[in-house]
Every structure is written in C-alpha cells, then in structure tokens.
C-alpha cells in the first residue's frame, strides 16, 4: 500500500498562479480604470452640458432682474384711470349745475327786463357821468341821480334773486379724490404734486363757455394749496400748472421744511376748503384729499408732458 | 340789502373776473388768498375785482396811445417802449411792479418781453423777485443811465443785442 502523498506547494505552480492572479487583477484594474475614464468622460460631457444650461440661465435671470427692478404695481395707471373717470363725472355734474343756474337766471330775468342793458347803463354812470356831476346844474344832477338810483334799485332786485349763492342740485352725492404726492423727506427742497379730477385745460375751456364747476373745483384746490403754503411760511413758493393724461396737475417746489407738517397742513386745509365750498356742497360734490407715494403720480417712463409756471 | 353797494352785488364768475384783470384764474385765487379775501362763493363782485387790482398793483400800460419808438428792429422798439414805461413810472430799486404789467394789453409780445427782462436780470440791470403780489421787477439803480440811453435809442445794452 502506497503511503499517502502530501501535496506540498509547488514553487513553479505557485509562481504560475501568482502570475495568473496578477494578470487577472491587472485586467480587473485596467477595466476599472477604463470604466472610471468612461465615467469621467461622461461627467465631463455632463458638466459641459450643465455649464451650457447654466449659461443659458444668465439672460433669463437678467430679464427677471430687470423686470424686478422696474416692477410696477400699476398704481399710476389705476390712479389716473380713476381720476379720469371722476373727471367725466364732474363734467356731467357741471352740466347739471349750469342748467340749474340758467333756469334760475332766466326766471329772474323774466321779472327784470334787459339786465345787460341796465348793467351797461350802471357802469356808464359810474365811470363816465358820475365824475362830471359836480359840474352840472343842480336840476340835471338830480334828474340823473334819480334815474341812476332807479337803475341801482332794479339791479339790486335782480342780483338779490340770482345773487352769488349757488343753486342747490337735487342729485346723488358725487365722491371725488384730490391726490397729493410729496417727493423728498423735507431735508432738501420738496416737490409736491397734486392731481385734480378736472380737465388740464379747464381755465381756457371755462372762458370758452364750459360749465364753471370744473374750474371752481380746481380753484378751490388751488386756494387750499396757497393757504397751505402761507401756513408753512412759504407763500411765494414756485407753482406750476400742467396737464397729464388730460387732467390738471399742479406742482409746487417747497423749500426744505418739516415734511409731516407740510402734508398735515395741505390735507387739513384741503379738507376744510373743499368740505365747506358752497358751490361744491350745492352741487353734491364731496372731495377727499389723500396722500399717495409720490411715484404713483409719475408714469413708469418719463412723461413728455409740460408744466407751465404759474407766474 | 339796501346798504350794500351795487359793486358788491354785481358778480361775475371767477374766469370772467380774472379775464377783466388779464390774469390767470389761478393767479386770481392766489391773490385772494394772499389778501385774505377769498369769498364764500367764486362769484366775484366788481368791488372785489377792483381791490385785487389795487392790492396786486395790476396795471394796464399798453393803452392805444402808447407810441413805439422808431427802430430798425420791431422787437427792440417794443422792448424800448416797455423799458421806457418802467422808468417813467419810477419802478427803480425797491419800488417794483408786477412783471406782467410789462406786457398786459400786449399779450402777443409776452415771450419777447419775458426774454428781454430775463436777459437784463442776468446782467444785473433789472431786479426780479417773488412777492405776495406776484413776480415783481424793477430797474437796478446803477443801470438807470444805461437803460435810459437804450430807451432814447442812443445805445443798447449788449444783453439785448440778441433781440434785434
């Protein structure tokens, strides 16, 4: 019986296995390197693609930022659209007021003939005849005086009927806004802008026969502005009147002042003047003065509208 | 009622009152505020119009009989006539007049006369300031001889050369 053979490590085989093992490991590692290279390449391409995508975001971002910078909440547009609608309502109300005043005047004329001729006669006496009275004989003087007294009496009768009091209108209340914007903190010159719901050419239009209510409303606002300027000690501040989108806009340049005091004075006086104006009350017009951020009164892009210096 | 003078009873709308004085309705309102005489309604009495005229020193200089001096330049003739009125009426130094008195009655020449006053103001020959009566002007005392010579047509200030 053969004795069992102990299998001992064979150097040659061991070396051959080691070579195989190394070769196998080398193949694996080379494969891994290849895979890493492929992955690296894939990532490089992916990075290029991402960078391209990132670069593509730049103009979009710039666009968004630009829009953000110039973001407009539409305040200017809605504000002026509201005032324009109010202006149309004022114009309609003005027609009603004019009609009522005409009716009252016509009724008064029925009982006082030829008022225009009486006025001409009255002014002629005052300007031409009266200065010469001392030079006339007493009899002429008394006849002329007696005639003139008759003219004055008839004029008094007429004007006591039509007078200066506005005719109360039976119409629903008309609520309007006068909008004030104050630009600046008061440390430097302050620009005050006031938008009024009347036509920008209200002065010329009234002279050409447009009903007076629009001019009256504007004039009362102007009164409040000057009273406010007087109250803060700046009665000679530079004032300019202009037209923006068909509406009357007033700009005032105020020397450095307490901003809060300026706003309080303007709003308070405006409320007082507009709330007690006999013409506005009779016409059923209620006006609220309110302050808005100054940039609400300026269009998003510079307007080409011009202002006319009041002086 | 009987004690009220007709001038207080006879009223005209604001626009008409302002037109009587040849001023803007809003300037009329400003003057009423400065005078403390804003009426309860904007129907303005003849008496009030007269008071505004007097308080603001509103004058009509360009009556029909104002003669223009002979001058090769029509513009210069008008400016010389306006300066003559300013000097003849004594508006020198502290005694100033509303700037629009210079062209009231001659609205077509407002731009020309505004420019002339502005040029003379820049040269210090005419003083200009804002007052409760409005924008007022007067001849600077030192410039009286020079402007007098201009009125007489003897010499023209360089400032007004551009107007010729």
In A, what residues contact B, Cβ < 8 A? 119, 122, 152, 155-156, 159-160, 163-166, 203, 206-207, 212, 215-216, 218-220, 222-223, 226-227, 230, 235-236, 238-239, 241, 278-279, 310-311
Residue A6 region, left (φ>0) first, then alpha (ψ -120 to 50), else beta? beta
Is the pLDDT assigned to residue B3 strictly greater than 50?
no
Residue range B88-109, pLDDT digits in tens? 999 999 999 999 999 999 999 9
Instruction: Supply the pLDDT for residue B2.
Output: 43
pLDDT band at A289 (very low <50, low <70, confident <90, very high): very high
Is residue B81 located within the same domain as residue B150?
yes
Does residue B124 fall inside a structural domain?
A: yes
Per-residue pLDDT, averaged over A172-186, amounts to 92
Q: Are residues B47 and B80 in the same domain?
A: no
Is the model's pLDDT at A137 over the cut of 90? no
Give yes or no: residues B42 and B114 share one domain: no
Residue located via tokens 């007087």: A230
Q: Is residue B43 part of a domain?
A: yes
More confident position, A260 or B159: A260
Residue B17: band (very low, low, confident or very high) from pLDDT cuts 50, 70, 90? very high
Do B33 and B114 share a structural domain? no
Cα(A149)–Cα(A187) distance, integer angstroms: 61
Closest Cα to residue B25, out of A202, A93, A244, A200?
A202
pLDDT score of A159:
73
- How far, in whole angstroms, is CA A309 from its chain's centroid? 19
Side-chain-side CA neighbours of A228 within 13 Å: the count stands at: 30
Write down the ipTM of this complex: 0.89
What gap in Å lies between CA A290 and CA B140, rounded to an integer?
A: 45
* Alpha-carbon span B97 to B76, nearest angstrom: 21
CB contact under 8 A, B43 and A164: yes
Does B29 contact A219 at a Cβ distance shorter than 8 Å? yes
Interval A94-108: pLDDT, tens:
999 999 988 887 777
Q: Is residue B82 part of a domain?
A: yes
Q: Are residues B82 and B45 in the same domain?
A: no
Structure confidence at residue B115 (pLDDT): 94
Q: Which residue has the higher pLDDT, A282 or A157?
A: A282
Domain total in chain B: 2
Q: What is the largest CA-CA distance in chain A?
A: 189
Do B81 and B23 lie in one domain? The reply is no
Higher pLDDT, A211 or A289: A289
CB contact under 8 A, A223 and B27: no
- For residue B1, what pLDDT is reported? 37
- CA dist A18 and A15 (Å) reads 5
CB contact under 8 A, B26 and A165: no
Confidence of residue B140 (pLDDT cuts 50, 70, 90): very high
The answer to whether A164 touches B43, Cβ cutoff 8 Å, is yes
Size of interface A-B (CB pairs under 8 A): 91
User: Which pLDDT does position B8 carry in this prediction?
Assistant: 67
Specify whether B45 is located in the same domain as B121.
Answer: no
Q: Residue A276: pLDDT band by 50, 70, 90 thresholds?
A: very high
H or E element, residue A292: strand A285-292
Residues B84 and B149 in one domain: yes
Contact A311 B45 (CB under 8 A): no
Question: What is the C-alpha separation between B146 and B96, in angstroms, rounded?
Answer: 18
Q: Read off the DSSP letter of residue A184.
A: S
Stretch A3-24: mean pLDDT: 85
**Kind of pairing between the strands at B43-45 and B97-98:** unpaired
Q: Which of B9, B16, B29 sits opposite A226 (nearest CB)?
A: B29
Mapped onto helix, strand or coil, the DSSP state of residue A244 is strand
Nearest to A156 among B1, B27, B41 (CB): B1
Q: What is the pLDDT of residue A164?
A: 64
B84 and B38 in a common domain: no
Query: Do residues A273 and A220 touch, judged by C-beta distance below 8 A?
Result: yes
Which residues in chain B are closer than 8 Å to A218, comparing Cβ atoms? 26
In this predicted structure, the answer to whether residue A208 has a pLDDT above a threshold of 90 is no
Q: A290 forms bridges with which residues in the sheet?
A: A179
Looking at residue A182, what DSSP letter applies?
A: E
- Determine the pLDDT at residue A304: 47
Output the domain CATH number for residue B105: 1.10.10
B29 is in which domain, residue-wise? 6-56
A200 contacts B9 by C-beta, under 8 angstroms: no
Is residue B51 located within the same domain as residue B89? no
| Residue contact B26–A219, C-beta within 8 A | yes
Shared domain check, B117 and B45: no
Is B128 contained in some domain? yes
Q: Is residue B52 part of a domain?
A: yes
Q: How far is B63 from chain A (nearest CA, A)?
A: 17
Please give the pLDDT value at position B125.
95
Number of helical H runs and strand E runs in chain B? 7, 5
Report which secondary-structure segment, H or E, holds B3: none
Residue A245: which of A174, A304, A183 has the closest Cα?
A304
Considering only A36-40, A171-175, B6-10, which range has the smallest mean pLDDT?
B6-10
Shared domain check, B79 and B45: no
B 89-118 residues with CB < 8 A to A: 99
Position B67 in a domain: no
Question: Does some domain include residue B99?
Answer: yes
B61 within a domain of the structure (yes/no): no
Dist CA B41 CA B35 (whole Å): 16
Burial class of A58 by CB neighbour count within 10 A (0 to 12, 13 to 18, 19+): exposed
Q: List the single residue in A with minimal CA-CA distance to B11.
A: A164
For chain B positions 114-153, those within 8 Å of chain A (CB to CB) are 130-132, 134-135
For residue B13, the chain A residue with the least C-alpha distance is A212
CB B41 to CB A222 under 8 A? no
Cβ–Cβ < 8 Å for B87, B144: yes
Residues 17-76 of chain B whose Cβ lies under 8 A from any Cβ of chain A: 19, 24-27, 29-30, 32-34, 38-43, 45
């Amino acid at each position: 019986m053969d004795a069992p053979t102990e299998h001992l490590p064979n150097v040659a085989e061991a070396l051959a296995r080691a070579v195989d093992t190394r070769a196998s490991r080398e193949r694996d590692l080379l494969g891994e390197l290849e895979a890493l290279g492929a992955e690296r390449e894939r990532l490089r391409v992916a990075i290029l693609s991402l960078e391209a995508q990132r670069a593509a975001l730049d103009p979009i971002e710039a666009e968004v930022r630009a829009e953000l910078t110039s973001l407009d909440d539409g305040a200017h547009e809605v504000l002026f659209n509201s005032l324009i609608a109010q202006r149309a309502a004022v114009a309609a109300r003005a027609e009603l007021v004019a009609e009522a005043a005409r009716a009252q005047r016509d009724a008064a004329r029925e009982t006082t003939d030829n008022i225009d001729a009486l006025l001409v006669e009255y002014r002629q006496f005052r300007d031409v005849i009266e200065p010469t009275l001392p030079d006339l004989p007493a009899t002429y003087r008394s006849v002329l005086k007696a005639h003139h007294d008759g003219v004055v009496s008839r004029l008094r009768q007429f004007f006591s009927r039509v007078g200066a009091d506005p005719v109360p209108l039976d119409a629903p209340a008309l609520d309007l806004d006068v909008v004030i914007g104050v630009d600046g903190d008061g440390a430097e010159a302050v620009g005050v802008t006031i938008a009024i719901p009347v036509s920008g050419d209200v002065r010329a239009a009234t002279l050409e026969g447009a009903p007076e209510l629009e001019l009256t409303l504007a004039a009362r606002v102007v009164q409040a502005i000057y009273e406010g300027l007087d109250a803060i000690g700046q009665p000679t501040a530079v004032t300019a009147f202009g037209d923006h989108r068909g509406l009357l806009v007033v700009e005032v340049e105020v020397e450095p002042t307490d901003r809060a005091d300026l706003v309080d004075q303007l709003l308070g006086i405006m409320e007082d003047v507009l709330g007690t104006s006999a013409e506005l009350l009779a016409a059923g017009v209620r006006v609220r003065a309110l302050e808005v951020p100054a940039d609400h009164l300026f269009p998003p892009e510079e307007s080409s509208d011009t202002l006319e210096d009041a002086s | 009622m009987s004690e009220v003078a007709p001038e207080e009873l006879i009223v005209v709308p604001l626009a008409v009152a302002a037109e009587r004085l040849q001023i803007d309705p809003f300037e009329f309102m400003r003057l009423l505020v400065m005078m403390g005489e804003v009426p309860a309604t904007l129907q303005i009495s003849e008496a009030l119009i007269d008071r505004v005229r007097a308080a603001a020193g509103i004058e009509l200089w360009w009556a029909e009989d104002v003669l223009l001096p002979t001058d090769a330049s029509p513009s210069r003739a008008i400016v010389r006539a306006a300066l003559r009125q300013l000097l003849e009426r004594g508006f020198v130094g502290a005694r100033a007049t509303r700037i629009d008195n210079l062209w009231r009655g001659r609205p077509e020449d407002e731009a020309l006369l505004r420019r002339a006053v502005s040029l003379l103001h820049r040269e210090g020959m005419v003083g200009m300031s804002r007052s409760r009566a409005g924008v007022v002007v007067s001849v600077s005392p030192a410039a009286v001889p020079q402007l007098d010579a201009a009125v007489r047509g003897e010499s023209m200030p360089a400032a007004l050369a551009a107007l010729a």
